[in-house]
Amino acid sequence: MKGISDVIAMLLMLVITIGLVGLAYSYISGVFTARTAVVLNIDAMTSFCNSSHIVVNVRNDGTTRSGTVTVSAYKPDGTASSSCTIPAIDPGTLNSCSISRGTTLVGTGYYRVTANTAGSSAMPVTIYCPL
The model's pLDDT over 57-90, given as tens digits with 9 standing for 90+, comes to 999 988 889 999 999 999 988 888 999 999 999 9
What pLDDT shows up at residue 90? Answer: 94
Would residue 127 be called left, alpha or beta, if left means φ above 0 and alpha means ψ between -120 and 50 degrees? beta
Statement: residue 1 has pLDDT above 60: no
Q: Are 68 and 85 in contact (CB under 8 A)?
A: yes
Chain-centre distance for alpha carbon 53: 24
What pLDDT shows up at residue 36? Answer: 65
Residue 98, classed as helix, strand or coil, is strand
Residue 77, classed as helix, strand or coil, is coil
What pLDDT shows up at residue 23? Answer: 87
What pLDDT shows up at residue 3? Answer: 65
63/61 Cα distance (integer angstroms): 7
**Residue 98 CA: distances (Å) to CA of 73, 104, 129:** 10, 14, 14
67/85 Cα distance (integer angstroms): 10
69/62 Cα distance (integer angstroms): 14
Q: What is the CA radius of gyration of the chain?
A: 25
- pTM value surpassing 0.95: no
The model's pLDDT over 89-129, given as tens digits with 9 standing for 90+, comes to 999 999 999 999 988 898 899 999 999 998 788 999 999 99
Residue length of the chain: 131
The model's pLDDT over 2-57, given as tens digits with 9 standing for 90+, comes to 667 888 888 999 999 999 998 888 778 766 655 568 889 999 999 999 989 999 99
